[in-house]
């Protein structure tokens, strides 16, 4: 066999990816062919052939058999799969120290996981020595990172694995992934003999090495202090300093791409706001006429909610990072810590935009003699009483003479005070400031209650709702591309922008559309597949975009759809002031309750441990971040009271 033919055969190797992967469906017929062609009297004599047989067997045992197979053919496939199981076991039973290196050579990378599973499950690790096995695995192109995914391998050869890890600084990346990495495809294991001191020493050697990967430096720099992982405060600081130096050196020699956003006020613009994309920079321009005409305090807060789009729909904050914003390469190539707040390019852009808008507006209002903190005081102490009859809220603005450090400390304290006052109002029906002072503590933003029963709807882990959301909205859905002339960023975009007939669908796409038809989301009109039932779609769109549905903002038809999905176990209702995503955003910015990679603004300023190097400029930026959060919290509280008032008026 020549080299080209051998490569072609390797390319065609069969691999079972599991029931949830569409690559499995594409290979069903190929798997049946391999099982049907198996001859127990002449099994493969090399490792890749044996592993392909093993994968073919997995297809049959999992029930992945061609739909056109008759009953006799199905029985024959099942019987052949049992014979394959025995043949594979016999092949591995013959492995021993003397033949390991010859038998395990150049294993196809797609089979490394299965090879390790079989070596563990069939007891080969238990009877072969560490020296012989690791030499053989090296020859089979199984790297140490792959080895760490096998618990039994690590248990059997722990001392040798520890020595290998400590031999090279770059192997700290494996330890960092194990202790700090998030969204890992496979669980990894470290030897029992590999101590936290080993972990710390290896990470420190990596930080000091000539070319550390900045992604791993960032993981260490953002890591929580943990004696089990070997991460302490000194290591975190050392990693951060090396990371900053590496990034600075990179941009000294590499031209960057100008990205981000700008904010401006126009004296001639008619529209309240325009947004234009200039290269990779979004330019927001606001009408001075509009801003001049909306200087009353209610309009100032409305401008944050609607003009700056802090919460333009159903009271949901747009500020958090959402899973649906992380797409394509960001999902495939991103490196995140286990306790990281998962952001994206989209989050970075809107985070920068809303901060700049806050800076611009606070300064603009200042030119008109308006202090934004005074607007907040008016809202809590005057507006709530006049509009909703709610008394007792207190908000103390910063002194006009205060510097930015003092303003930051005051505003963070007032934010926690407002959250505590709201909680007491919900729980006790009144605000007792003595109780608030006596119970002052770190605010748990996830547990701030709501007066509204079942305020938010969330998707459960039910396979049907998860499948529907993935099919409709994910850019990884298999319903995004028909051909070069019919495509979309997701299934919704594909079906809205193209005249897609059922016949034009690929075979593997038809079951997906059948599922959408079954649940009333689309219809086949004959000449195209068309989205239907806008109310149901509104609910699903909110689950995707906001990771929640605001039940009390829904109309009667939307609520009926929600109620049916609740009964089916697809959804669950919970009550809180903030959605899960919104609470995560507050915690990311303010503390270390949930995440290790946030700025921890509240913690730093309440405990007086903010960095001293950047002076007033640093405190000024933090102050604007605090203003943004305080305004966002005010918008959420106002949405709660508005919904309560609307419900009372409907009942009157």
How far, in Å, CA of 546 to CA of 580, rounded? 10
Taking 70 as the pLDDT cut, the residues of the chain under it are 1-12, 20-25, 183-185, 254-259, 328-334, 439-440, 607-614
Same domain, 414 and 489: no
Same domain, 427 and 310: yes
Task: Please name the residues in contact with 387: beta carbons below 8 A apart, sequence gap of 6 or more.
Answer: 641, 645
Does the residue 318 lie in any domain?
A: yes
Same domain, 168 and 137: no
Would you state the structure tokens that stand for residue 16, as one six-digit string? 């079972």
Does the residue 2 lie in any domain?
A: no
State the pLDDT at residue 183.
63
Strand residues in 288-357 grouped as ranges (E):
none
Does the residue 271 lie in any domain?
A: no
Does the residue 354 lie in any domain?
A: yes
Would you state the structure tokens that stand for residue 190, as one six-digit string? 């470290």
Q: Is the dihedral of CA 628, 631, 637, 640 positive or negative?
A: negative
Does the residue 408 lie in any domain?
A: yes
Does the residue 148 lie in any domain?
A: no
Does the residue 149 lie in any domain?
A: no
Would you state the structure tokens that stand for residue 642, as one six-digit string? 């508005």
Same domain, 593 and 631: yes
Strand residues in 405-491 grouped as ranges (E):
456-459, 481-483, 486-487
Same domain, 86 and 218: no
Helix axes 615-651, 580-590, angle to 10 degrees: 160
Segments forming the whole domain that contains residue 245: 164-254
Angle at 586 between CA 585 and CA 588, to 5 degrees: 65
State the pLDDT at residue 345.
87
Would you state the structure tokens that stand for residue 649, as one six-digit string? 């008026």
Same domain, 87 and 67: yes
Q: What is the pLDDT of residues 423-449, one digit of tens each?
A: 999 999 999 988 888 766 778 999 999
Does the residue 207 lie in any domain?
A: yes
DSSP output for 57-98: HHHHHTT---TT--HHHHHHHHHHHHHHHHHHHHHHHT--TT
CB count in 10 Å sphere of residue 578: 25
Give the residue from 254, 277, 311 where a domain finishes. 254
In the chain, % helix, strand, coil (3-state, to 5) comes to 60, 5, 35
Same domain, 307 and 445: yes
Same domain, 317 and 438: yes
Q: Are 420 and 440 in contact (CB under 8 A)?
A: yes
Helix axes 172-180, 196-207, angle to 10 degrees: 120
Same domain, 310 and 434: yes
Q: How buried is residue 315: exposed, middle or buried, by Cβ count under 10 Å (0-12/13-18/19+)?
A: buried
Closest CA to 176 of 221, 219, 140, 121: 219
Report the predicted TM-score, pTM, of the whole model to 2 decimal places: 0.79
Question: For the chain, give me the number of helices (H) and strands (E)?
Answer: 32, 10
Same domain, 443 and 311: yes
Same domain, 462 and 374: no
How far, in Å, CA of 104 to CA of 357, rounded? 61
CB count in 10 Å sphere of residue 3: 7
Domain count, the chain: 4
Same domain, 88 and 37: yes
Would you state the structure tokens that stand for residue 196, as one six-digit string? 């936290």
Q: What is the pLDDT of residues 453-474, one digit of tens each?
A: 999 999 999 999 999 999 999 9
How far, in Å, CA of 421 to CA of 419, rounded? 6
């Amino acid at each position: 066999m020549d080299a080209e033919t051998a490569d072609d055969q390797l390319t065609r190797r069969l691999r079972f990816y599991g029931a949830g992967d569409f690559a499995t469906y594409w290979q069903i017929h190929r798997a049946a062919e391999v099982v049907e062609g198996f001859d127990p009297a002449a099994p493969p004599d090399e490792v890749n052939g044996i592993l392909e047989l093993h994968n073919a067997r997995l297809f049959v045992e999992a029930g992945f058999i061609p739909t056109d197979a008759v009953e006799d053919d199905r029985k024959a496939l099942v019987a052949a799969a049992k014979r394959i199981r025995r043949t594979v076991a016999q092949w591995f039973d013959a492995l021993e120290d003397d033949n390991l290196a010859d038998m395990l050579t150049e294993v196809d990378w797609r089979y490394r996981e299965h090879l390790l599973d079989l070596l563990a499950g069939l007891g080969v690790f238990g009877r072969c020595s560490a020296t012989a096995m690791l030499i053989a695995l090296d020859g089979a192109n199984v790297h140490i990172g792959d080895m760490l995914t096998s618990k039994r391998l690590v248990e059997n050869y722990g001392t040798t694995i520890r020595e290998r890890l400590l031999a090279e600084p770059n192997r700290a990346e494996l330890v960092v992934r194990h202790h700090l990495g998030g969204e890992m495809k496979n669980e990894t294991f470290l030897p029992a003999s590999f101590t936290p001191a080993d972990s710390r020493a290896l990470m420190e050697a990596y930080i000091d090495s000539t070319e550390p990967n900045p992604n791993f430096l960032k993981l260490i720099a953002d890591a929580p202090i943990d004696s089990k992982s070997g991460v302490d405060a000194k290591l975190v600081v050392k990693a951060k300093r090396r990371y900053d130096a590496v990034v600075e050196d990179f941009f000294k020699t590499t031209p960057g791409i100008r990205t981000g956003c700008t904010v401006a006020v126009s004296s001639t613009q008619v529209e309240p706001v325009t947004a234009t994309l200039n290269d990779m920079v979004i330019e927001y321009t606001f009408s001075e006429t509009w801003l001049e005409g909306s200087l009353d305090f209610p309009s100032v807060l409305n401008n944050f909610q609607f003009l700056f789009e802090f919460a333009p729909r159903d009271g949901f904050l747009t500020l958090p990072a959402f899973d649906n914003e992380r797409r394509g390469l960001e999902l495939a190539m991103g490196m995140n810590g286990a306790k990281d707040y998962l952001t994206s390019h989209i989050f970075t852009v809107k985070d920068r935009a809303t901060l700049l808008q806050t800076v611009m507006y606070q300064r603009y209002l200042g030119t008109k003699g308006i202090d934004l903190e005074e607007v907040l005081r008016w809202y809590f102490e005057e507006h709530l009483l006049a509009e909703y009859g709610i008394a007792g809220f207190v908000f103390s603005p910063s002194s006009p003479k205060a510097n930015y450090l003092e303003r930051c400390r005051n505003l963070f304290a007032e934010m926690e005070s407002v959250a505590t006052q709201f909680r007491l109002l919900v729980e006790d029906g009144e605000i007792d400031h003595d109780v608030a002072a006596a119970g002052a503590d770190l605010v748990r933003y996830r547990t701030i209650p709501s007066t509204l029963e079942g305020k938010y709807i969330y998707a459960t882990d039910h396979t049907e709702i998860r499948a529907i959301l993935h099919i409709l909205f994910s850019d990884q859905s298999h319903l995004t591309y028909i051909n070069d002339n019919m495509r979309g960023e997701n299934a919704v975009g594909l079906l809205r922008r193209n005249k897609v007939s059922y016949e034009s669908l690929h075979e593997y796409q038809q079951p997906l559309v059948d599922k959408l038809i079954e649940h009333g989301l689309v219809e086949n009109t004959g000449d195209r597949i068309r989205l239907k039932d806008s109310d149901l779609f509104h609910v699903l769109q909110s689950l995707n975009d906001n990771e929640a549905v605001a039940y009390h903002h829904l109309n009667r038809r939307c609520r009926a759809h929600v109620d049916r999905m609740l009964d089916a176990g697809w959804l669950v209702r919970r009550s809180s002031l903030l959605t899960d995503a919104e609470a995560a955003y507050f915690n990311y910015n303010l503390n270390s309750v949930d995440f290790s990679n946030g700025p921890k603004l509240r913690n730093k300023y309440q405990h007086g441990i903010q960095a001293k190097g950047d002076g007033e400029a640093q405190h000024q930026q933090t102050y604007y971040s605090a203003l943004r959060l305080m305004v966002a919290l005010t918008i959420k509280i106002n949405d709660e009271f508005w919904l309560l008032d609307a419900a009372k008026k409907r009942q009157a």
